[in-house]
């Protein structure tokens, strides 16, 4: 297994457009997380799944953001009507719930630039 | 809610020892992580503490005091490649990790 993969790695879009990011977690991991990170800040929690169930969504997240994990494997994060403030690195991470620590394994991220 | 505090920046000399502190306030505490993040890269796992005390792993050690809401990461025999951001993250019993803003460590020759 090659780890967590994210696609695309970079996305430049115009304000008002919709964008979708895909994350493929490590295959045996049952938990999948989305975070957003801007320069000089730590990763900010967006949402997470256990298998196909979305267990929590950040209250800071507007209704323009939606995430799915339809078959409990890959996940997509969609941002509708993008705004310049959405420009950030979107990080996906996965973990195995039954491990003692459940540390996160991160993908390389999808960098979004909204013009 | 959760509140995690760590210093923004630290500087140390190659070969020295540095301690990066983290204080937190949270409900449903289920462990504390330290991650390393080099510029332009994803965070990678360094350590995990769930019980009070010191966990040692090579040049890196991490300490936790649950009653004080305090942890530190100790880096020994610093190398230039240790220049990175170090992220403290609290795991809740709901399975969510919340991160601090990170401490940028610069190692100088």
Please write the tens of the pLDDT for every residue from A29-84.
999 999 999 999 999 999 999 999 999 999 877 899 999 999 889 999 999 999 99
Whether residues A103 and B45 touch (CB distance < 8 A) is answered with: yes
Q: Under DSSP, is residue A47 helix (H, G, I), strand (E, B) or coil?
A: strand
The answer to whether A90 and A110 are in contact (CB under 8 A) is yes
CB contacts, 8 Å: B98 with chain A: 45
The answer to whether B97 and A34 are in contact (CB under 8 A) is no
User: Residues of A numbered 48-87 whose beta carbons fall under 8 angstroms of chain B's beta carbons: which are they?
Assistant: 48, 50, 55-56
The CB density around residue B89, as the number of other CB atoms within 10 Å, is 26
CB burial readout A29-43, b (16+ within 10 A) else e:
bebbbbbbbeeeebb
**Distance (Å, whole) CA B86 – CA B102:** 5
What tens digit of pLDDT does each residue of B35-50 get?
A: 999 999 999 999 999 9
Asked if A102 has any chain B CB less than 8 Å from its own CB, the reply is yes
Of residues A42, A97, A107, nearest to B95 (C-beta): A97
Give CA separation, A86 vs A16, A89, B26, B80, in Å.
11, 9, 27, 34
Please give the share of chain A, as a percent, with pLDDT higher than 90.
Answer: 77
pLDDT of residue A59: 85
């Amino acid at each position: 297994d090659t780890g967590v993969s994210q696609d695309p790695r970079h996305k430049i879009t115009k304000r008002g457009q919709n964008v979708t990011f895909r994350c493929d977690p490590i295959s045996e991991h049952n938990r999948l997380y989305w975070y957003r990170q801007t320069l000089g800040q730590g990763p900010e929690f967006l949402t997470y799944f256990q298998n196909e169930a979305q267990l929590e969504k950040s209250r800071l997240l507007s209704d323009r953001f939606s995430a799915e994990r339809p078959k409990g494997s890959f996940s997509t994060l969609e941002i509708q009507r993008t705004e310049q403030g959405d420009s950030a690195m979107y990080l996906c991470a996965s973990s195995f719930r039954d491990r003692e620590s459940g540390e996160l394994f991160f993908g390389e991220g999808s960098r979004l630039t909204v013009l | 809610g959760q509140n995690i505090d760590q210093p923004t920046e630290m500087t140390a000399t190659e070969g020295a020892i540095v301690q990066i502190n983290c204080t937190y306030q949270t409900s449903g505490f289920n462990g504390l992580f330290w991650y390393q993040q080099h510029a332009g890269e994803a965070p990678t796992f360094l350590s995990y503490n769930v019980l009070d005390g010191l966990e040692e792993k090579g040049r890196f050690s991490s300490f936790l005091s649950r009653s004080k809401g305090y942890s530190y990461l100790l880096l020994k025999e610093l190398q230039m490649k240790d220049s990175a951001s170090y992220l403290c993250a609290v795991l809740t019993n709901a399975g969510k990790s919340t991160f601090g803003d990170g401490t940028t460590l610069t190692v100088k020759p």
